[in-house]
Structure 1
Amino acid sequence: MTPPVRLVEITAGNREAVCALRVDPDQERFVASVARSLADAATTPEGEPWYRAVYAGDEPVGFVMLSWNVPPGRPGILGPYYLWRLLIDRRYQGRGFGRAVLDEVVALVRADGAGELLTSHQPDDDGPGPFYRKYGFRPTGEIDDGEIVVRLAL
């Protein structure tokens, strides 16, 4: 059974706890920290960043960031809906939280009228590629900054 999660705005009250979330050291090459992600969002407004903390009950367990409904033609921005970051804290991995977050994100993006969700990952098999393939993402044939671009039809 997929655990229930809530996508919660990051505020002054929860920012420190959310920024303290960490993946295992051997996964750090695959996903940026929450602090780095928030900095990237602040310096890339053309990516239309939309981000939330992931909560299970009252506990932050992860972070998700998308490019949300980016107008066509913006150089260097995949979209219009692109899963930019997905991080589940090392203490909560393997419990279905990643899938639960994707379920929430897919429902929100679909409700906004999107026909697809894009993301990308490094080609290493020990990275998130198998997770995304199992969820239903398929390669588009594109490579973006050395990463394989994958698409989930909605």
Structure 2
Amino acid sequence: MLDASSPYCPCQSGLSLDACCGRYHDGELAPTPEALMRSRFSAFALGVNDYLLVTWHPDQRPASLLDDDSTEWVRLEIISSQETGDTGTVHFRATFREKGRWRILQEESRFIRTQGRWLYVDGKTEILQLKPGRNADCPCGSGRKGKRCCVR
């Protein structure tokens, strides 16, 4: 499960937040669509809404984002990532818990590079329900059994 006090980046790259997504949150431009996707996942997990808005294409960007403490983002899996010129796609799965229920957001995201900056445009999404058992592997990806980790 993600922990704001963890020394590791929420995108689960294995790097520290400062060496990974934190530098993008602080203003460095993400060099690829995948780097932007990872940093956006980390921003969702950490509640860095201003970063989410500034990395959203202006034609698609909402006026604001609600602070949503009820959603706990726990795991990111990059399925595939492609970049061709100034367009890119990232297919990912993000595991989250909301109101005690486990779900997976699966999305094929589209990105465009404008003036050297990658921006999230939109995505085809699907939300899947998870019903993890206490003796099954934990959905957070820790490798432990659910009852010894996040499944209550």
Greater Rg over alpha carbons, structure: 2
Give your verdict on TM over 0.5: no
Where is the helix percentage greater, Structure 1 or Structure 2? Answer: 1
Question: Quick one: higher RCO (CA 8 Å, sep 6+), 1 or 2?
Answer: 1
TM-score, normalised to structure 2's length?
0.28
